[in-house]
Amino acid sequence: MAFQWSVLYFLVLLQVSFTPIFAGSSGEEEFSEELLLRPLPDRKVLAHFHFESRAPPTEIYGHHHRLFPKAIYQLVQKFQIREMELSFTQGRWNYERWGGFNPITSANAKPPGVELWAILDVPPDQVDASWKNLTHTLSGLFCASINFLESSTAYSSPDWAFQPSSRSLRYGALPREAVCTENLTPWLKLLPCRDKAGLAAILDRPSIYRGFYHSQRLRLTSTEVGSEKGMESGIVLEQTLTIVLEPDAQRPNTNHLGGRVLQPSWSLRSIFGREISGRCVLAKYSTVFIEVERNLVSELKKLGRRRGVAEIASDSWTDPFFDLSVTPDKTIKEMNVTHGDSSSILYEFSTEKYLDYEPFDVGLTWKLPVVWSSPQAPFRASRFLIGSGNQRGSIAISLKSTEPGEGFMSDLAREGCTVRVDVFQVVPWYVKVYFHTLQVFVDGRHRRVTDALEKIHVSPSEDKVSPGLMEMVLRFPCSMKSATLTIEFDKGFLHIDEYPPDANQGFDIPSAVVRFPDFQASTYYLKDNSRKSALLSKFQEKNLLLSYTEILLVPLATPDFSMPYNVITITCTVFALYFGSLLNVLRRRVGEEERFLKEASMRKGMLPQLLSKLSAKLRGKYKDSPQSSSSSSSLLNPKLMFKVALVAGIAVGWHYYFE
């Protein structure tokens, strides 16, 4: 009976889903909150919060908003932002273990620190000024030093490799920015319920900052301004928080089961320390998803077949493997296009019916050990420095095929099949990159650069003015196993006041971005299932597959900062000597001096006498050398020596006996 009802429900929903929901024609502000949880292969759990606020175009709706944050609205109006993305990240996304080929990774795996890019809809000559103001505003809004991106040495304007086709894009990254709760609080303030109600209420600060990865992101898309004016969607503010947490810190080998390790079981309470007590009443909908990855599903199916689970199609086929503590409201299946025989599954839970005294605490309990790996991007990109010392070095970007043996797509690995890789890299000006030294190695063989390079755009750095920018489109054969790009650089010298605090740490080169435009990281869900979910519609958008490389630390020659003191001392000494001798020369009268000297020599002072005696001795020494050993005795007048010794002896004795 229940099944029939649900079918009916779906049918109704199908009806609804044909009418365009997100075209904005509703003319109302909207806010929605969603949370996606996904078990990761290395015993961790990914939690992805997605909050979306929409404001209709000003022309229709006016300037006053009920839900949409005013600060953001004013930001858009003032700086004519067409698109903007700001991310604060702590920790590194582990592409190998947590997956590199899904919408969450390509949109939410960000480099450590702060990354900001914006497309500003202002005349080209005002973009820079506008950007500078924007950085200051954001800096104040999010309690971060984003204002360091104001300096023209810190940001760049990529042509095409970062985001396709935009002239007024500005991109900047601050790899060293520390991210903490002071950045999260203003971010939460933008939500209508803040963290007082709804999904955001479970964001317990100690537990989320204890995690392995933490990235808060704010993305703004607006059609308020410029050429696209008049289109209907207005301003869309998308706030996401992606966290990777470890459910339980128990030792891995305590719960063995048949030699393999059982995945840890978890619940919202065990990973966040809190439960969801109802939705934010201002939200249009408030949903929690638990995702079972594509590879996990296929692994489970394989195990199921081996264990003889009869019916894989039925809803309860996963029962032997894990339990969900709350029955899902709905199960959504991925519409599989390319990826083999399995498709990921989403369990949907609506939090609307839960209240304070009956909180929502979904959990997942594993019953059998499962080992799987997340889907990978075709190449794993990493970047490292070559060489040591303070003089020169080189940067290497290496691409390794993630599927050993055959190429990444065996059906496409034909003759002449190529794969496109875009590389976008910004290097600070004090790392002076020589672009002509670019070398390409494919599968351990040196290749001519022109063979691999399809398109390149380089804007060399200018000392103390702008960073170096490199955008490349490379084509590699599909069967390639590894490729390496190297480029050499010289390390520059900074002026003493250009060094940041803690200069001896070294200097950061921000992450490079490697994109694979031939691949789409989108996930499509069966049409009827994907109604009214901003998160799922985000997954279905055109998502380019990209990955960020590591941040590099370049040790530069650093002065000893206590040196200024020494420099002042030596400068003063040199000045004193210079002026002293100058004055001496100016006031000296040579004629007078000679006269004085003559008089003095008539009088025959003591020293000249001694000198002449000495010189006589010296000359005598060569005539009769045996004498020479006693020649020095004239210096040490025995009488004088005796007197001195006597006085010293008396003093010492006096001191000794009076203590």
Partner 1 sequence: MKPRMMAGSSGDTKNPKIKPRPIVRIGIFLISHSIVVSLLCFAAGIVALILLPLFAKNTYISENALMPGSANSMLSSQDVKEANKLVKDIIGLKLSSEEARIEIPRLIAQHMADAGSEVYYHKFHPQMSQFYPLHFFSGSPNSGNIKENHSCVSHAINTVGIIRAPRGDGKEAIVLVTPYNSEKVELGEALSLALAYSIFSLLTRVTWLAKDVIWLAADARYGEYASVTAWLRDYHIPQFSALEKLDADICFESGYPHEQNENQIRTDVISRAGTMAAGLVFKVVDKHKETDKDTLSIYAEASNGQMPNLDLINIVNYLAVHRQGLRVKVEKLYFLLDSVFLKIVGDVLETIGKVARSLNARWEFGIPVADYIDGAATLASSMYHQALGVPTGSHGAFRDYQVDAITLEISPKVSLNNEVRILEFLLRGGRLIEGTIRSVNNLLEKFHQSFFLYFLTSPSKFVSVGVYMIAFGLLVVPLPIIAASLYCDANVLDSHCIKEQQKSGPASTNEAGIAFQSWRWLHAAKVVLVIHLWGAIVSLLPYLMYQFPEMTPTTSMLSWGLLSIASLLFLHQILGSPYSCVTVNQSPNREWAVLKSMMIAAAGIGLGLMSIINFATAQIGALLIVPMCLMVHPLKHVYRAGRLRTLAVTACNISLGFIGFPPAAFLFLKAYSEGLGSVSAGDFWNWVESLWAWNSATYLYLGLIHLPCWLLFMYVLLHPC
Summarize as ranges the residues that interact with partner 1 (CB under 8 A): 42, 90-92, 94, 112-113, 175, 210-212, 214, 249, 252-253, 382, 384-389, 396, 400, 441, 443-446, 482, 484, 486, 502-506, 508, 550-553, 555, 558, 594, 597-598, 600-601, 608, 611-612, 614-615, 618-619, 622, 625-626, 629, 632, 635, 652, 655-656, 659
Residue 257, C-beta contacts closer than 8 angstroms, at least 6 positions apart? 368, 369
Query: If we measure between CA atoms, which residue out of 268, 278, 289 comes closest to residue 359?
Result: 278
Residue 648 CB, nearest approach to partner 1 (Å):
12
Nearer of residues 139 and 482 to partner 1, judged by Cβ? 482
Query: How far apart (Å, rounded) are the C-alpha atoms in residues 394 and 485?
Result: 10
Query: How far apart (Å, rounded) are the C-alpha atoms in residues 89 and 94?
Result: 13
Nearer of residues 1 and 602 to partner 1, judged by Cβ? 602
DSSP 8-state assignment for residue 200: G
Nearer of residues 160 and 441 to partner 1, judged by Cβ? 441
Residue 353 CB, nearest approach to partner 1 (Å):
36
The full 3-state SS of 2-37, as one line of letters, equals HHHHHHHHHHHHHHHHHCCCCCCCCCCCEEEEEEEE
Residue 68 CB, nearest approach to partner 1 (Å):
33
Residue 633 CB, nearest approach to partner 1 (Å):
10
> 46-69 burial, b for 16+ CB within 10 Å, e for fewer?
bbbbbbbbbbbbbeebeeebebbb
User: CA separation (Å) from 230 to 52, 226, 237?
Assistant: 21, 9, 18
Look at strands 345-350 and 330-333 and give their pairing.
antiparallel
Provide the β-strand partners of residue 232. Answer: none
Judged by DSSP in three states, 458 sits in strand
Nearer of residues 495 and 655 to partner 1, judged by Cβ? 655
Residue 188 CB, nearest approach to partner 1 (Å):
20
440 and 492 in contact (C-beta within 8 Å)? no
Nearer of residues 284 and 447 to partner 1, judged by Cβ? 447
Judged by DSSP in three states, 462 sits in strand
Nearer of residues 40 and 55 to partner 1, judged by Cβ? 40
DSSP 8-state assignment for residue 60: H
Nearer of residues 460 and 477 to partner 1, judged by Cβ? 477
Nearer of residues 313 and 635 to partner 1, judged by Cβ? 635
Provide the β-strand partners of residue 240. Answer: 50, 217
Residue 203 CB, nearest approach to partner 1 (Å):
17
Q: How many CA atoms lie within 13 A of 457 on its CB side?
A: 13
Query: If we measure between CA atoms, which residue out of 184, 248, 181, 243 comes closest to residue 215?
Result: 243
Q: How many CB atoms lie within 10 A of CB 110?
A: 23
Residue 612, C-beta contacts closer than 8 angstroms, at least 6 positions apart? none
Residue 88 CB, nearest approach to partner 1 (Å):
13
117 and 172 in contact (C-beta within 8 Å)? yes
Token pair for 156: 């760049």
Residue 373 CB, nearest approach to partner 1 (Å):
8
Residue 406, C-beta contacts closer than 8 angstroms, at least 6 positions apart? 413
> Which residue is associated with the tokens 């059609």?
223
Nearer of residues 528 and 550 to partner 1, judged by Cβ? 550
Residue 467 CB, nearest approach to partner 1 (Å):
18
DSSP per residue, 539-583: HHS--EEEEE---EEE------TTHHHHHHHHHHHHHHHHHHHHH
Q: What are the phi and psi torsion angles at 488 (to 5°)?
A: -95, 155
Nearer of residues 372 and 539 to partner 1, judged by Cβ? 372
Residue 144 CB, nearest approach to partner 1 (Å):
16
Look at strands 286-292 and 30-39 and give their pairing.
parallel
Residue 204 CB, nearest approach to partner 1 (Å):
16
**Where on the phi/psi map is residue 379: left (φ > 0), alpha (ψ -120 to 50), or beta?**
beta
> Which residue is associated with the tokens 């005002």?
126
Nearer of residues 17 and 558 to partner 1, judged by Cβ? 558
Residue 105 CB, nearest approach to partner 1 (Å):
17
Token pair for 32: 């929605």
Provide the β-strand partners of residue 347. Answer: 290, 331
Residue 238 CB, nearest approach to partner 1 (Å):
25
Nearer of residues 79 and 266 to partner 1, judged by Cβ? 266
User: CA separation (Å) from 464 to 153, 259, 294?
Assistant: 6, 59, 49
Nearer of residues 4 and 629 to partner 1, judged by Cβ? 629
Nearer of residues 332 and 438 to partner 1, judged by Cβ? 438
Q: What is the chain's length?
A: 659
Residue 628 CB, nearest approach to partner 1 (Å):
8
Q: How many CB atoms lie within 10 A of CB 207?
A: 16
Residue 594 CB, nearest approach to partner 1 (Å):
7
DSSP per residue, 384-400: EEE--SSSEEEEEEEEE
User: CA separation (Å) from 512 to 381, 383, 617, 652?
Assistant: 10, 8, 80, 75
Query: How far apart (Å, rounded) are the C-alpha atoms in residues 95 and 547?
Result: 8
Nearer of residues 567 and 618 to partner 1, judged by Cβ? 618
Nearer of residues 261 and 409 to partner 1, judged by Cβ? 261
